């Protein structure tokens, strides 16, 4: 049987015209749970088990995502993608 999951999605920032790809990571405490690398200004989507996660991008900061079964949490942050 499939494990229950939820989704964290959002839009990364586009800080200038020539920006390298952005790595968005989800951490539970100090444990890396999932990550995705997307073009700056693009959306990301990570499917994870329910729980609380810190969303980390290149710009620092760590908004929290509370993931529930079958739900999508959107985390758009100006910090995600701007170094």
Percent of all residues in the chain with a pLDDT value above 70, rounded to a whole number: 81
Note whether 25 and 13 are within 8 A (CB): no
How much is the average pLDDT of 38-53?
Answer: 92
Given a cut of 70, is residue 65 above it in pLDDT?
Answer: yes
Note whether 34 and 46 are within 8 A (CB): yes
Percent of all residues in the chain with a pLDDT value above 90, rounded to a whole number: 49
pLDDT at position 23: 87
Name the nearest CA neighbour of 9 among 70, 63, 72.
Answer: 72
Given a cut of 70, is residue 33 above it in pLDDT?
Answer: yes
pLDDT at position 69: 96
Given a cut of 60, is residue 58 above it in pLDDT?
Answer: no
């Amino acid at each position: 049987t499939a494990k229950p999951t939820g989704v964290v999605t959002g839009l990364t920032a586009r800080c200038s015209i020539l920006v390298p790809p952005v790595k968005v990571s989800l951490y539970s405490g100090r444990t890396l749970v999932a990550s995705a690398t997307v073009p700056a200004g693009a959306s990301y989507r990570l499917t994870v088990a329910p729980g609380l996660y810190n969303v980390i991008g290149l710009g620092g900061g760590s908004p929290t995502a509370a993931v529930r079964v079958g739900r999508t949490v959107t985390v758009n942050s100006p910090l995600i993608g701007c170094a």
